[in-house]
Amino acid sequence: MSGMNTLTFREICRLFCCPPCPSQIASKLAFLPPDPTYSVMLDESGNNYKLHLTERAEWQYTDRELKNIEVFVTQTSRGNRIPCMFVKCPHSAPSPPPKYTLLFSHGNAVDLGQMSSFYVGLGARLGVNIFSYDYSGYGASNGSPTERNVYADIEAAWQGLRQRYGISPEHIILYGQSIGTVPTIDLAKKYECAAVILHSPLLSGMRVAFPDTKRTWCFDPFPSINKVAKVTSPVLVIHGTEDEVIDFSHGLAIYERCQKAVEPLWVEGAGHNDIELYSQYIDRLRQFVTVELRE
């Protein structure tokens, strides 16, 4: 959930003069994998994976909720193995199963272990399943976090969700938070789905590092500004007006470029990492998922 790194003058000179390398710029700007807070391992049968959370994951629930979490490992088109997590929203007959599953791309400096409690709570409050994955180089994944890898990571997660659980695109909501909006927008321009939620999105890497940037350079990483207009699904944009990492202007500009933008959520006074603490966050998500998408 934390934001992007700040480049030193020396690093800027090296990146832009040696010559520019988009993947190197992206890594310096955005990726900060934490020490892993979980592991996945095969059970006695050798067919299913088990999730083990460390104390650093700060699990807030009981073993009962933990049993509603399934994990597996899939391979991306770039050869990295990434873990995926499916958090089932509990329901009992005669209530129907959840209609939607959120494919959640989390922010920076966290992994699936740290996000697991949040996913359980969010899924229960919205009445949806949550499906998530770790980027290459995060958590129990191998490889390293690069721009090209995160695009391959979300593609593998999308295919895993569809093939393993048989969930069709019209029942999938893509949710990206902060750096997670980058792969979310990239995937959403290729596949139509039920909806897209962009939580604290960025226009491009250069526009975060250098706010006065007015054009997209060939070496600009994460050029979401050039992709979001190609998204044909309904899009809900969420941004804090006092975001100290990705300026509020990014959310406004993304919203203005969406083909099918719905009423956005501008959280007055919220920063980059505390939007979830405001009551209007859940209220707006619940209205969108349970009312607007069903109309």
Q: Give the C-alpha separation, 295 to 158, whole Å.
A: 25
Annotation says 199 is catalytic: no
**Cβ contacts of residue 20 below 8 Å, gap of 6+?**
219
Strands 81-87 and 49-53 come out as unpaired
Active-site position among 106, 239, 250, 272: 272
| DSSP summary character for residue 192 | -
Annotation says 272 is catalytic: yes
Q: Give the C-alpha separation, 260 to 195, whole Å.
A: 10
Tokens 């721009």 correspond to 147
In b/e form, how buried is each residue of 132-166, taking b as 16+ CB within 10 angstroms? bbbbbbbbbbebebbbebbbbbbbbbbebbeeeee
Strands 81-87 and 129-133 come out as antiparallel
Annotation says 178 is catalytic: yes
Q: What is the signed CA dihedral for 257, 278, 117, 133, rounded to 10 degrees?
A: 10
DSSP secondary structure letters along 93-140: TTSPPPS-EEEEE--BT--HHHHHHHHHHHHHHHT-EEEEE--TTSTT
Active-site position among 105, 136, 178, 204: 178
**Cβ contacts of residue 58 below 8 Å, gap of 6+?**
114, 117
Active-site position among 224, 243, 247, 250: 243
Q: Which residues are catalytic?
A: 178, 243, 272
